Structure 1
């Protein structure tokens, strides 16, 4: 019996060594890639300390975002961002919008921001006491609000365009500071401000005092707009509301200048005696009760005052010249107060 020895050829040994080398190199490369991927997740993007504003259009894929950031020199490894998003199941959860990516942002933080939709927000402030034309001007001149409502539209056509057909716009939009993303339309903004006013008015109406001479929330809105225009000092709101409430209850004319002014076309800033005598739907010196619509946008405090007027006997008030008013229960007392205030104002002008 002959034993045969199995001797490997030099060629077979070379193949084995080559495979071993490839395995070692592959393992080393894989280990390096794994560590590089881990470093990528925590390393900041290539940004200045100020960061950048970055806009993602609707329908943009994560691949397109990664490639674009790489083209801009912000992202070194776009493939890694795609892998990270797939690992986190974020690839299809990216929200469109305009983002501010601050300096020091990592890839992980960037994905968190894009998934949460934490976009840049701009603001518009609507001021208590503004009229509708001032509201419209603020909306139309804001560079980040998309204009879809033609300036040629009449007031009636504009209200119809935003879904409020047949409603008068005055006083219907709540004065507040509104935050919104780029791309918000004028229609969306006005609808939001309108809904805010309706919600607040409804909440306040539910908690109103009993036995008020107001039949509807809209009447409360009208009265609140007058209170807003008449009030110089916040602490006087409910007292002014009390005067108007008692006048309505007694059937007295409200005799308030802001309503007269609202009814004057192209008011020049100076109300005259003839203006008080000229009859218009808004002249509360010639017509009893509330005017037909609000005359401005009242804030929540003015709405509250209209629905919670202060008790008392005063039926008149006159501006003192320092932002406040002198309140009187009788016409005789009121006339004395008017004369005194006029003398004081003339004295102040002469000094």
Structure 2
């Protein structure tokens, strides 16, 4: 009887030992599998934002949400077990083909692939904005971003969403890019999952919000938003840090009133689709509705975005008799004149003699 009981106890202890070994071995292989790549054959790149001050568990949650790792919990335990305390915040390009060890290595290096904020300066064209967008969101391709910007179906959605700002005027046949001038210059922060459409929509929304303050004056002057943004873009592109934009605005309005072409070089460069430090005489012959040397009045649409100061100048030009201005590109100084004779004299003194 005692022998039988002893055998039973031995059997139970052996069984428990085997179960513990099995659980231990199984646990080891499970944890090990969770530390391996989600998809070793993946060629996908995923942009992941790690905010400043993130706890290890929060980093794990972000990585799991983006399907870069299998388990946030295993990641958190592993990081603490390895005593990895130097994980850095930033925007990283990671991949499901990376193991947890490789992911940790990237986060320790702190070599971020893009800025954490998207800064769109004043006077930027859609082409320049697209450049900034692909630097900020490296998974985007510039040609795809530009295609979205010009997509008529998408633009019509925006017109419907923001009717106080966008109108069918942007879809006129002679308008080069419908959203030119409508992406507000500001600093943006986007989630890494947001695509080009979402980013562009947010920038149009910012324009809609920021020009609301000008609506009463626009109504008073019977000026459309499209005309307003077109004029303010010309002022923005011609202005330097040292110039009174309201004086530049007065020159443009005075020339329109006098039935004179605006003859502003930035419109020629926009028609050419080039960034040049100097406009040549042959450039002035470009056949385009945007060429204000050949066509009187405003171009068909904005040639860039514009900031607050240029917008204010477009609605409230200074009262002057100026019909001409020129800028010294070396000093930034702008000279205004009332007659062509005076203008040419200033040109000889401040431009030609300095070349």
TM over 0.5: yes
267-276 vs 294-303, which moves further:
267-276
What does the per-residue CA deviation read over 1:291-340, in whole Å, with 9 as the maximum and x for residues that have no partner? 00111111121111111111221111111341121111222221211121
- Give RMSD over aligned pairs: 3.6
DSSP 3-state at the match of 2:183 = coil
Aligned residue runs from structure 1 range 48-87, under 5 A: 52=56, 53-56=59-62, 69-70=76-77, 72-73=79-80
Partner residue in 2 for 1:329: 338
1:199 and 1:326 map into 2 onto residues whose CA distance is 35
Q: Specify which of 178, 198, 202 is matched with residue 192 of structure 1.
A: 202
Aligned residue runs from structure 1 range 27-176, under 5 A: 52=56, 53-56=59-62, 69-70=76-77, 72-73=79-80, 122-143=116-137, 147=140, 151=144, 154=147, 158=151, 160-161=153-154, 163-164=157-158, 167=170, 168-176=178-186
TM-score between both structures, scaled by the size of structure 2: 0.60
Q: Specify which of 247, 251, 256 is matched with residue 239 of structure 1.
A: 247
Q: 1:132 to 1:143 in 2, by over 3 A?
A: closer
Bigger Rg, which one: 1
Q: Specify which of 289, 292, 304 is matched with residue 300 of structure 2.
A: 292
Conserved 8 A contact 2:269-2:276: no
DSSP 3-state at the match of 2:336 = strand
Partner residue in 1 for 2:311: 303
Conserved 8 A contact 1:317-1:328: yes
Aligned residues: 251
Unpaired runs of 5+ residues, structure 2, are 1-52, 82-87, 90-114, 160-167, 171-177
1:128 and 1:291 map into 2 onto residues whose CA distance is 19
Matched, 1:204 2:214: yes
Q: 1:133: how far off?
A: 1.0
Matched, 1:182 2:176: no
Q: 1:307 to 1:72 in 2, by over 3 A?
A: same
Conserved 8 A contact 2:134-2:141: no
1:59 and 1:143 map into 2 onto residues whose CA distance is 15
TM-score between both structures, scaled by the size of structure 1: 0.61
